[in-house]
Amino acid sequence: MATSEIILEEAPYLNLTTKGRRTGLSRTVELWFAFEDGKLFFLAHENSNWWKDLGKTPRVEIEVGEILFEGTGNLIQEQLEHVFNLFRRKYGDDQVSRWYGGHRSNRRVVAVELGKVLGKRPSEKMRPIELAA
């Protein structure tokens, strides 16, 4: 298994950046996710803007740890139950029920097909120190 796949399997959340459908500005949200067969899966609240942005611009950027990926997102509502099962396997029944159950259960299913790794963000420890003159 590649290092990037291990990170995607183990990370509890990631940052997803979309392009705003009205403003054209980049928007980043922190999300829970599941990873399977080279795809990321998300359960979006029906009122969230980020999944609506994908309708206009499906290209996204995903940051997990220090790794930055590109991807293409789309709605796959027909896989709702499968994605809920992926989330239960990753986060446990109690957490999924707490965050996605009851009045919160009306979700949109988004899949992101991962593209290439865009690079690695420098960690805070590795950023250069600016010295005073």
pTM: predicted TM-score of the whole model, two decimal places: 0.84
pLDDT value of position 121? 63
pLDDT value of position 127? 46
Structure tokens at 32: 């829970």
pLDDT value of position 1? 54
Question: What are the structural domains of the chain?
Answer: 3-118 (2.30.110.10)
pLDDT value of position 62? 95
- Coil/strand/helix, residue 133: coil
pLDDT value of position 82? 96
Q: Give average pLDDT by consecutive 10-residue segment, the chain, 133 residues.
A: 76 95 94 94 93 94 91 94 95 92 82 88 50 47
- Coil/strand/helix, residue 85: helix
What is the helix, strand, coil percentage profile of the chain, to 5?
35, 40, 30
pLDDT value of position 66? 84
